[in-house]
Structure 1
Amino acid sequence: MSNEYKLSDYLLDVVKYMGANDIFGVPGDYNLQFLDHITHRSDMKWIGNANELNASYMADGYAREKGFSTFVTTFGVGELSAINGLSGSIAENVPVLEIVGAPTDSVQRNGSLVHHTFGDHDFDRFEKAHRQLGIKVERLNRENAINQINDIAQYIYQTKKPAYLILPTNLVEMKVNISLKNDIPNIFNKTAHKSENSFEDIASAIDNSERPVIVMGHEVDRFNIFDAIKQFSLNNNIPLLDLGLGKGNIDESFKNFVGTYNGEISDEKINRYVENADTVILIGAKLTDSVTGGFTQQFAEKDTIMLSYQNASIYGKNVSADYDFINVINELANTKLHLSLPDVKVQIDSDVTPSDNMLKQDFYDKAMRQFISGNNTLVAEQGTSFFGLASQKLTKGAKFFGQPLWGSIGYAFPAALGNQIANKDRRVVLSTGEGSLQLTIQDFGLAFREHLKPIVFVINNNGYTVERVIHGMNEPYNDVPQLDYELIPKAFGAKDSDYDFINVSTENQLFEAMNKANHEEDKLVVIQVNMGMKDTPEQLTKTAKAFAEQNK
């Protein structure tokens, strides 16, 4: 490659500055020249995926650890394969950039009948599809490409939402001034906004309440504001809860942290804090059906002070126009109100002791809580894993995520691998069902190629259990093929020294497998967990009933 500085180099320098050291994706002829610019760098690595959907999931998991990620697809066939994963990122505010290699400007202007199109001369339809989904879109052009890249980078940085960038092949090698590289930090210099009026209104409303509680959502993690909220809670002795959509980089060992709230189906002691509150301070949250027990939250708009990135309201009334989310949260951190609240009494979860009993979901969930250490990130697939594990309190330093809003089955396996790539110093623990795993199982090959060492718990309970509970307990459409997971690693290229496979059916076997996996830090460990077809977490059973009612 030439030593000249090209547009591709500038784009990758921006991506690198934003925190993406690894780029996911699948090669296609419209992006191959661009991929050369990745693979020829010494400070960046190309991570080729089995398919584009997995790439989008993996980028999502990477961004949840690093704060940003990038993946590359080719025009049409590649981007449409990935659009489901990118949609999940927009639903749950995950900052991911998709770069799409596209035909040249002249081919598109001429409407040539080239491959990866519908053969109808229309090159805009895929871009329009992404715009329709509310995804930020930029199609690079020769005259304004640098400004377009800067604009999309600034958008992702400020909103923590995904974006989509189209790179025509004729612009890949376009020469640009190398001095532009020095200006990259200036893209992210955000002017501080004063929020005096809105802050005073919010603080006054909280000060006038008698029994406030704080309920945190996903934006707390995305904007890295937990420490500020924690300080506000400490200064004023306000009880703190989180939602399943937002449970993650939050210290659940914090002395004022009560637990994870899930509407009426939460633990009684957690519910009591919300039931007795006269004001719920909802920070960076979406009250979705999956994390409110099917919309059974015990508070209404008239009881809520709602603070999020886009807007804020006090008991249903919008706050002053000078509102700035981050600024208000930081101001609250330094605020001592006139509240007189008793010490928060936190529930202590009791440990379980294994026996030779057959494994049940409830025991598995509590055993996982004991197993997860401060150096683990627990990833839970939507279904039995998420609903059983989201309510478990995490030890100090431990992290957690799932995808309860978008809820695309198969997401968790590649997302867990992406998360592991983002931080090799932590060990990812995945809990997934065999039904979900079959959708994205292809990237076991990537896991072994990249020498990843997560612990993968595969719950084998004969099918789509979450769907069975909602409808069709014994219907064949909820059955899945029964795979031999002991053979999977070798089928995807693993050597004997790369992995361990453990099959468990009893409580004692599960504890033994967990202990063994902890000592096998140099291996990817697959633990097949066999449980009954109708055995489900209590929170899933209750939420599924609400889902079933919604579908009538």
Structure 2
Amino acid sequence: MNSTTCTVGDYLLLRLKEMGVKHIFGVPGDFNLGFLDQIEAMDQLEWIGNCNELNAAYAADGYARINGIAALVTTFGVGELSAINGIAGSYAEQLPVIKITGSPATSVANSGAYVHHTLGDGDFEHFSRIFKEVTVAQTTLTEENAADEIDRVLKECWLYKRPVYINLPSDISYKEIKAPKSPIQLPEFKSEINQLNTFLNHTLKKINQAKFPVILADYEVNRYHLNEKLGNLVNKSGFPIASLSMGKGVIDETHPQFIGVYTGSLSDPYVKSRIEEADCILSIGVKLTDSITGGFSHHLDESKLIEIHSSYAKINQETYNTVSMSDILELLSESVEHRDNETQNIKPFYKRKEDINLVPTTQALSQERFWKQINCFLNQEDVLIVEQGTSFFGASNMLLPEKTTFVGQPLWGSIGYTLPSLLGTQIANPNRRNVLIIGDGSFQLTAQELSTILKNKLKPIIILINNDGYSVERAIHGPNEEYNDINMWKYSQLPKVLDMEENSISIVATNEKELDDAFNLANSQDKLIFIEVIMDRLDVPELLGALGKIFAKQNAY
């Protein structure tokens, strides 16, 4: 037999397991409780309950960045709308998150009854229509369509690396259906051979004519897990490579051909000149957004660009719509002629960052020196999560140790994202050290998820920058205005309030020596470490200060 009998809920969970989901995030509500029973009963699946649905969505996003796929469950209406900001962020930044909504029973929805968690107008499709804007596929499961629809939307999620929406009515979860026995066949983008060959011929011709080619790589390489193929191309070609900050860590930053992070006019002068004066730019998985290009201050000559994306490519103003990044990287690596370092004259990023070491003093902490201390503290294979604002822009020009994963959200930029995201990244791989750097304003938005981190006995290092308010907004407009102020908290005491089993240590650092002592303690303890770092309210990283002026002009302030 090619089919088996199982319930709709169990079939969905079995498919999630096949795709690599081991944990499901969310919040219980009366329309999803039956499905949660099925999650609890399913072997090798663990329920991670969150403090609210928005935090659950953020956690799922972080989990997907490390695990490759994630799922979360909320109730209908109030629960799913609370989560939608996080889902929109996953859509913007291309993270495969499966959003499951437990909804009223089919008979209730068909009757148009004015039940709770609805708008009281008898229309039960308001919220599924809203989710169409931020998901790549949607479905409402029925007894008849469940097996086919589950497979359809999960394949779309996998292929496009974007969220999908599954509406699971409370009565459908336990309906028995015939479902295929065979594992789900996960799709990949495939190239049309003639288009692929034509594109490669044009690309190799352009490369061979160039004297100073360069590779510019970004986040899409990470999303499609093509880092190894990118690395092969870099090694075979001998070309210098830069990243954008959204894709920071796309290649090991200690690689001798890595020259740094390109940020438009705000780039390091050497990186700016190598990228903008190159006579051929292999742009791989790049999306040029305002916050990573210095407010669109990049200058990339389109006549010199070769654009390679997950499922299409462009060269000489012609688009090839059925070629895959995976195939292009593989075949280019086989065909490209190697250039040696003498002809390329590469100045590696790691050699230009040899000044990162410093001797800690008792002087007050400053943004300029703080990031050098962070750089010295990081280890190989760390997961570094940086909040949008001071943390992201301070960290974007750091030299990452080998095999470090860099997590930020520069496109969607929803402040507060990183604390729940840390929950997801750490649960996805508990064996890697996770280091979060977050500002006080962002922390106040999602602080309660610290309790979930402690509940699950996770042991990350959380560095909270206490600079008394919204520093990004101050850098853009209103540095001394009351609306950029926040209420001061005793941040270092929060872990003690939320930690009933004393699995955490809190420290306050006001100067470099105290921070150095805190880092030494963190390296010797097997507990969650919470370090509150005190800084001046108007001290911001150089890059953020410059970008703030650009955004102020962009916003016509």
Q: Place the TM-score, normalised by the shorter chain, in its bin.
A: over 0.9
Cα distance, 1:166 vs structure 2: 0.7
Indicate the residue corresponding to 1:40 in structure 2: 41
Indicate the residue corresponding to 1:505 in structure 2: 510
SS in 1 for 2:261: strand
Pick from 461, 464, 478 the counterpart of residue 467 of structure 2.
Answer: 461
Instruction: Show the 5 A alignment for 1:351-370.
Output: 351-370=357-376
Cα distance, 1:298 vs structure 2: 2.5
CA distance in 1, matches of 2:402, 2:158: 28
Q: Bigger shift: 159-168 or 60-69?
A: 159-168
Amino acid at match of 1:544: G
> Are 2:515 and 1:514 equivalent residues in the alignment?
no
Q: Is the 8 A contact 1:500 1:525 kept in 2?
A: yes
> Are 2:427 and 1:421 equivalent residues in the alignment?
yes
CA distance in 2, matches of 1:12, 1:189: 22
C-alpha change, 1:189 and 1:547, in structure 2 (3 Å) is closer
Amino acid at match of 1:186: Q
CA distance in 2, matches of 1:397, 1:92: 21
CA distance in 2, matches of 1:81, 1:310: 32
- Report the TM-score, using the length of structure 2 for normalisation: 0.95
CA distance in 1, matches of 2:362, 2:312: 53
Q: Is the 8 A contact 2:190 2:322 kept in 1?
A: no
1:53-103 Cα offsets, whole Å, 9 max, x none, are 000000000000000000001110011000000000010001111101111
Indicate the residue corresponding to 2:182 in structure 1: 183
Instruction: Show the 5 A alignment for 1:1-20.
Output: 5-20=6-21
Amino acid at match of 1:210: K
Indicate the residue corresponding to 2:416 in structure 1: 410
1:228-257 Cα offsets, whole Å, 9 max, x none, are 122112112111111111114532122211
1:482-516 Cα offsets, whole Å, 9 max, x none, are 111232112213333x1111100111111111111
SS in 1 for 2:491: coil
Indicate the residue corresponding to 1:58 in structure 2: 59
Q: Bigger shift: 448-457 or 294-303?
A: 294-303
C-alpha change, 1:191 and 1:230, in structure 2 (3 Å) is closer
CA distance in 2, matches of 1:46, 1:544: 41
Cα distance, 1:187 vs structure 2: 4.4
Amino acid at match of 2:333: A
Instruction: Show the 5 A alignment for 1:98-113.
Output: 98-113=99-114
Instruction: Show the 5 A alignment for 1:82-481.
Output: 82-133=83-134, 135-177=136-178, 180=180, 182-188=181-187, 193-194=192-193, 195-248=196-249, 250-319=251-320, 321-337=321-337, 341-347=343-349, 348=351, 349=353, 350=355, 351-481=357-487
**Equivalent residues, number:** 545
CA distance in 1, matches of 2:280, 2:264: 16
Q: Bigger shift: 60-69 or 389-398?
A: 389-398
Mark the runs of 5 or more structure 2 residues left unpaired by the alignment. none
C-alpha change, 1:352 and 1:338, in structure 2 (3 Å) is closer
CA distance in 2, matches of 1:95, 1:23: 13
SS in 2 for 1:184: coil
Q: Is the 8 A contact 2:135 2:164 kept in 1?
A: no
Amino acid at match of 1:289: D
C-alpha change, 1:430 and 1:439, in structure 2 (3 Å) is same
SS in 2 for 1:405: coil
Cα distance, 1:123 vs structure 2: 1.0
Q: Is the 8 A contact 1:198 1:322 kept in 2?
A: no
Q: Is the 8 A contact 2:191 2:322 kept in 1?
A: no
CA distance in 2, matches of 1:148, 1:297: 43
Cα distance, 1:32 vs structure 2: 0.5
- Report the TM-score, using the length of structure 1 for normalisation: 0.95
Mark the runs of 5 or more structure 1 residues left unpaired by the alignment. none
CA distance in 2, matches of 1:187, 1:423: 23
1:251-273 Cα offsets, whole Å, 9 max, x none, are 21222111111111111222221
